[in-house]
A and B are shown apart, each in its own frame.
Chain A
């Protein structure tokens, strides 16, 4: 259990001494999406002046976007990127956050809450936002005899659940998973696991997938799309037991079939967290009962918000309603608008599985004889559309595989708009350009972004208020920053509102997002002002101050420009660069010692073998760049491994010069005309470790047979007849494949080194951050490059050579860090997320 930002002695029991000012005590239980949003809304209404705010959250983190866990599971998003409010946010706002602390009981008569760290906290106003948890349907063998869930069984609710699932899914012996529940969450979980290469079956007890959101016909189309992703689907099957004694080995279905598997994810619905409220005597039915002001029924000072709430008989499992609730609640709590009422939400759902578009709202089929039902189905393309109309109003829609009309239909559903006579116009745009027409049809208060409750008008106002770019409008309104499914629509609205005057995002030209300058202008400023460190650049040039996303790019640029005059700051580096190793899927690192030109010696091999043995290296592997890779080294062991190796780093990580692959060349090969091995070693010795916008992989081949694959390298050299050498640039053979362009043919190896170095320096100075040479070379054009590099058309050749020489001269083997770690935590284990400091349990 952990806790931050509190001063335990001063905020214990008893009412605060009077005379400490008029601020009342606001306590919030639950630091999830609803709790944090409610606090944000309260602060936006001047709450900071009215209240001292204390929050309790069961999870040991700040507040994060739970919706994005689906993307984290599928690897589309990293867990560090989904935080909404960092810990410093709470600090800045003067909020006391008890993270990792659970509230066990409320005494609503004396107005105190009791938490599991023994703390007793008084309140004047209490907000309960405890959310829900995953529902575990009854199954034999779900729990171990000790009462915990059997290893290999997962819920899908929290960041910890997600991380554990990812870790489990990446374990090499875990190949097969069963997801119980074929609803929205189950499909997202299945898709996520599939992305890790796991074989997944979804077991759903109803007759078709997403049965709560759509009818059997739509379900059948959806099934085809899901199966096309390689996910098995079993409908009409109920899981009766989880098999395996100490860990999962399979599941049993009703009717006796068993499915073997290594992991089970339960996504069979959610249940509100109401134990606390029940125990404390608050009115709970399906969830905590609240009135239209979000006040707990018959309680004057207790509010509740989010998924733990039952309002007018409804319990919601989506975020859109809780945004609306938070606004009403904040209006009452702060007294800003005491007439505000929450009247319930009409919800629409979307599936966040790439390539399978699903949107659904309201009824999924006709219920009355008089209901009209309009259906369009094209299963082979995965398209299905169904609309239910009652009394000329839309009461439900299901759209699969084509969501262009979603915005309009959502609005028609939300607000009961009269529908066009020609019903088919509801499903398709005829003769109108895509998008625009759809956007024009929307009324002002149509919700564009459901996750953040942003209306068309809010966006249009932002555009008219001067946000002329899509990113600007998104930043200003928060639209598109939830599940992300509305980004296309946001773009359309912005374009429509700007009436063609939407500016191209200048950010697209910025070298790094935080500084409004392109690369050349940025370099000019850095030179003019004599800046030498990343923090100095932020201070001088970033209007918004430091920005994590910009650090790496700046660090690389400064090193390129300044060589040894660069002032290194560790936190400007990416994890790979901080510890000089490649982080692997399981959080361990790989160590690749330098092996110039792929040549090694008996001593080196013996040393590597000894080190591998001493450290129990689980995998020794030859890399594609002709080196030996020691995989599976724990972070804290890195310095010792380097010390034992006592060899320089091979730079198998980082955005830098990495390796020169060579063939055997003249001395040994029957065909070789040039000494490719010797030249490769010389090139590697010269340019080792230099930073670049993207990694640089090189090769030298001894003849046009090209055994070192020189034509698909960032810089590739090939010996040709007559002792001449061809230099190719901009090749690639990774995710992107491109044959390099011939830069020059030269007479001697020395020339090769000069031109290769000059090319690399030009690339370092001109390319965008993370732009590989295969993109850079075609962008600027090979003729242009030949002009600058070979013919010195711009007269900068000497300058480029000198800058490169300075970088070469300032080379230091990064593995020498082992003797002198640059930060205390450099080689300490750490989770990708900051876990709060441990405090003793009181």
Chain B
């Protein structure tokens, strides 16, 4: 089996639109799984420079699949122990939910494999 590592990563400024309103962070943080390929997300690392709790949401085809809350001026590393298959033809995106008016930067590193 041949696998390929893939990452969605970078440091992005954000503007909170409400904790219950996840919004896209950046167009780079989207990935389309090609036909015939199976994708698995393996870990998430995140950092949050704002003084409030924020949540990064991993969406599959527009539906939330995992939530990664990051504390104020804090960071997380979540090695995913429950690994799911994401079939070819699906879209994977990262959104951010932050309290309205809060702004700052998030550091994002989502690790995936495809085979």
Seen from chain A, the residues whose Cβ lies within 8 Å of a Cβ on chain B are 135, 137-138, 204-207, 211-213, 236, 238, 269-271, 278, 283-286, 313-318, 347, 349
Contacts and interface: CB of A to CB of B under 8 A. Distances in A.
Given A238-B89, A269-B115, A283-B81, 9 more contacts: A137-B85, A206-B36, A212-B1, A236-B36, A269-B1, A270-B1, A286-B40, A286-B42, A349-B2
B71 to A, nearest CB: 24
B45 to A, nearest CB: 14
Interface string B12-34: 00000000000000000000001
B42 A238 contact: no
A269 B5 CA distance: 17
B78 to A, nearest CB: 11
A270 B3 CA distance: 13
A133 B2 CA distance: 17
B37 interface: yes
B6 interface: no
A204 B37 CA distance: 10
Contact of A317 (B1, B43, B83, B89): B1
Contacts of A316: 1
A22 B94 CA distance: 56
A319 to B, nearest CB: 12
Interface residues of B, number: 22
A207 B34 CA distance: 10
B35 A212 contact: no
Contacts of B89: 238
Given A269-B115, A284-B81, A205 B35 contact: yes
A286 B113 contact: yes
A207 B35 contact: yes
A236 B35 contact: yes
B88 A238 contact: yes
Interface in B56-86: 79-81, 83, 85
A394 B42 CA distance: 29
A313 B34 contact: no
Which secondary structure characterizes the binding site on chain A?
Answer: loop
In the A-B complex, the 10 residue pairs with the closest CB atoms: A206-B36, A317-B1, A205-B36, A212-B2, A205-B35, A286-B83, A211-B36, A206-B35, A205-B88, A284-B81
B32 to A, nearest CB: 14
A254 B50 CA distance: 46
Interface string B82-98: 01010111000000000
B24 to A, nearest CB: 27
B87 A285 contact: no
Contacts of A317: 1
A361 B12 CA distance: 37
Contacts of B81: 278, 283-285
Contact of B37 (A138, A206, A314): A206
24 contacts: A135-B85, A137-B87, A204-B36, A205-B35, A207-B36, A212-B1, A212-B2, A212-B115, A213-B2, A236-B35, A238-B88, A270-B1, A271-B85, A283-B81, A285-B43, A285-B79, A285-B81, A286-B83, A313-B113, A314-B3, A315-B1, A317-B1, A318-B1, A347-B2
Contacts, number: 55
Contacts of B40: 286
A270 B115 CA distance: 11
Nearest to A204: B36
Nearest to B115: A212
Contact of A206 (B43, B79, B88): B88
Nearest to A183: B1
Contacts of B83: 285-286
Contacts of A207: 35-36
Nearest to A318: B1
Q: Which of A205, A269, A284, A314 has the most CB of B within 10 A?
A: A205
Nearest to A182: B36
A558 B80 CA distance: 67
Nearest to B38: A269
Contacts of A318: 1
A138 B1 CA distance: 20
Contacts of B79: 285
Contacts of A278: 81
A285 B2 CA distance: 17
Contacts of A269: 1, 38, 115
Contacts of B87: 137-138
B1 A206 contact: no
B2 A206 contact: no
Nearest to B34: A206
B35 A238 contact: yes
B112 to A, nearest CB: 11
Given A138-B87, A285-B80, A315 B35 contact: no
Contacts of A212: 1-2, 115
Contacts of A211: 36-37
A211 B36 CA distance: 8
Nearest to B4: A212
Nearest to A269: B38
A375 B5 CA distance: 25
Contacts of B36: 204-207, 211, 236
B114 to A, nearest CB: 9
Contacts of B37: 206, 211
A386 B38 CA distance: 25
Nearest to A138: B87
Q: Which of B2, B37, B42, B87 has the most CB of A within 10 A?
A: B2
Contacts of B115: 212, 269
Contacts of B80: 285
A541 to B, nearest CB: 48
A269 B3 CA distance: 12
A819 B98 CA distance: 88
Nearest to B2: A212
A236 B88 CA distance: 11
B115 to A, nearest CB: 6
A285 B42 contact: yes
Nearest to A361: B2
Contacts of A285: 42-43, 79-81, 83
A664 B90 CA distance: 75
B105 to A, nearest CB: 28
B3 to A, nearest CB: 7
A313 B40 CA distance: 12
A298 to B, nearest CB: 13
